[in-house]
């Protein structure tokens, strides 16, 4: 067990690392963060902020020697980086779990090989393979780069197989994943944690709405039939076991209009859809990550009240500083800002969480609080 007072290392320095750090420091841990940037969302609240590129293996090893365990808040850390520190200090989740979830084709194949339901997909590494993959999967299809995509970046919709040439040159990637476009009834996520001793705990199912492929709103608990929730949780637990996972994992699901549940993707870390646990659950996803990687027993994942979370993107700053007091005027709304200096369209600057007697009440509150920012 890694006891409070020890130092925890985080690779990456965004808002996920910031909220992890807040949870860890509340429990008496110290936190060191490593990323190529300075004055970062994580660095502003950590004990130590190391600024160096992820391929500076000497700097990584020096960082690793000063902490008792390393985790990451960003999955595009090169696997050479985690391999370089593995011999010095424990890394949770494992570099292997990171490696699998870093690349869409590998991740989907891992899931499909073990019988977990995924969106029908095909992998293409040339323009010719892309054309035949589109013909095989059928259009409309969504073509995604296998690596480094987030918030819908690196994705194109193919209306017909004739578009292979255009998409191949616009994505310019070496490995592409072609997916059938699913008619979505709902997008759901399960955030679950597995401890060093194999104990598993999951939060209630979350329901997610996206705008322009970026998460916009999460509500909890999700309004889905109990059988769907049970199936999602069973799949999530199976994936944690299959990966021999330690830490917090998010599994994003699609529920089709036909009622089929499919895994969309995995995030090997706390996730945007779990931000509402910070205010609305007995244990937040960030505290759960601290507990899991330190070998402490997992905390209760019970939701205190129905809740909703709305993201605050940089677009809200288009006409100047948002009216924070207006959002805070709602007593059940919590404001979270990540300390990012420059607002940009599509950039996640913060979020609001609201609680209510019902999910709908929480949702109405969080939306009206966000609308009030611009008034």
Among 9, 149, 306, 356, which residue sits at the site for ligand ADP (rule: CB under 6 A)? Answer: 149
Give the shortest CB-144-to-ligand ADP separation in angstroms.
6
Judge contact between 271 and 308, C-beta under 8 A.
no
Question: Of 143 and 373, which has the nearer Cβ to ligand ADP?
Answer: 143
Question: Of 32 and 144, which has the nearer Cβ to ligand ADP?
Answer: 144
Q: Does 287 engage in binding with ligand ADP (CB under 6 A)? A: no
Q: Does 119 engage in binding with ligand ADP (CB under 6 A)? A: yes
Q: Does 75 engage in binding with ligand ADP (CB under 6 A)? A: no
Pick the piece of the chain touching ligand ADP (CB under 6 A) from 27-35, 39-47, 85-93, 146-154: 146-154
Q: Does 264 engage in binding with ligand ADP (CB under 6 A)? A: yes
C-alpha torsion 109→111→115→120, nearest 10:
-60
Q: Does 270 engage in binding with ligand ADP (CB under 6 A)? A: no
What would you measure as the largest C-alpha separation in the chain, in angstroms? Answer: 60
109: Cβ contacts below 8 Å, ≥ 6 apart: 123
Q: Does 324 engage in binding with ligand ADP (CB under 6 A)? A: no
Judge contact between 235 and 116, C-beta under 8 A.
yes
**Which stretches of the chain are DSSP H helices?**
15-26, 57-65, 79-86, 95-102, 104-113, 127-137, 164-171, 226-242, 277-280, 285-294, 324-328, 359-372
Binding positions for ligand ADP, 182-201, rule CB under 6 A? 182, 184, 187
Among 179, 207, 279, 287, which residue sits at the site for ligand ADP (rule: CB under 6 A)? Answer: 179
Pick the piece of the chain touching ligand ADP (CB under 6 A) from 63-71, 143-151, 286-294, 349-357: 143-151
Question: Of 2 and 262, which has the nearer Cβ to ligand ADP?
Answer: 262
Judge contact between 184 and 256, C-beta under 8 A.
yes
User: Could you tell me which of 101, 143, 99, 141 has the C-alpha nearest to residue 123?
Assistant: 143
Q: Does 142 engage in binding with ligand ADP (CB under 6 A)? A: yes
Q: Does 151 engage in binding with ligand ADP (CB under 6 A)? A: yes
Q: How far apart are CA 226 and CA 18, in angstroms?
A: 34
Among 265, 370, 372, 373, which residue sits at the site for ligand ADP (rule: CB under 6 A)? Answer: 265
Q: How far apart are CA 90 and CA 105, in angstroms?
A: 27
Site string for ligand ADP, 203-242 (x = CB under 6 A): -------x--x-----------------------------
User: Could you tell me which of 309, 287, 313 has the C-alpha nearest to residue 365?
Assistant: 309
Q: How far is CA 367 from CA 335, 362, 364, 372, in A?
A: 13, 9, 5, 9
Which residues form the interface with ligand ADP (CB under 6 A)? 119, 142, 149-152, 179, 181-182, 184, 187, 210, 213, 252, 264-265
């Amino acid at each position: 067990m890694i006891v409070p007072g020890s130092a925890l290392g985080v690779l990456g320095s965004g808002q996920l690392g910031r909220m992890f750090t807040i949870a860890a420091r509340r429990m008496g841990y110290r936190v060191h963060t490593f990323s190529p940037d300075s004055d970062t969302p994580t660095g502003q609240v950590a004990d130590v902020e190391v600024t160096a590129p992820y391929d500076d293996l000497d700097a990584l090893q020096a960082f690793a020697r000063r902490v008792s365990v390393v985790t990451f808040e960003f999955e595009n850390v090169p696997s050479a980086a985690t391999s370089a520190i593995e011999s010095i200090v424990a890394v949770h989740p494992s570099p292997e779990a990171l490696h699998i979830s870093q690349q869409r084709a590998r991740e989907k194949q891992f899931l499909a090989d073990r019988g977990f339901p995924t969106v029908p997909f095909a992998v293409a590494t040339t323009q010719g393979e892309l054309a035949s993959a589109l013909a095989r999967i059928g259009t409309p299809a969504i073509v995604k780069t296998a690596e480094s995509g987030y918030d819908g970046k690196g994705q194109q919709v193919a209306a017909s197989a004739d578009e292979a040439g255009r998409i191949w040159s616009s994505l310019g990637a070496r490995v592409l994943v072609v997916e059938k476009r699913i008619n979505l009834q709902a997008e759901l996520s399960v955030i679950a944690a597995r401890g060093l001793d194999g104990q598993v705990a999951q939060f209630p199912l979350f329901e997610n709405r996206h705008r322009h492929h970026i998460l916009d709103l999460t509500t909890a608990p999700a309004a889905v039939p109990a059988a769907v929730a049970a199936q999602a949780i069973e799949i999530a637990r199976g994936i944690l076991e299959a990966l021999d996972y330690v830490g917090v994992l998010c599994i994003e699901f699609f529920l089709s209009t036909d009622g089929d549940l499919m895994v969309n993707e995995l995030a090997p870390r706390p996730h945007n859809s779990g931000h509402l646990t910070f205010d609305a659950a007995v244990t937040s996803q960030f505290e759960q990550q601290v507990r899991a990687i330190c070998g402490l027993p997992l905390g209760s994942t019970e939701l205190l009240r129905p809740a909703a979370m709305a993201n605050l993107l940089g677009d809200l700053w288009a006409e100047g500083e948002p009216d924070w007091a207006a959002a805070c005027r709602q007593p059940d709304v919590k404001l979270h800002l990540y300390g990012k200096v420059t607002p940009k369209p599509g950039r996640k600057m913060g979020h609001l969480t609201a609680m209510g007697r019902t999910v709908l009440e929480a949702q109405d509150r969080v939306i009206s609080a966000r609308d009030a920012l611009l008034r």
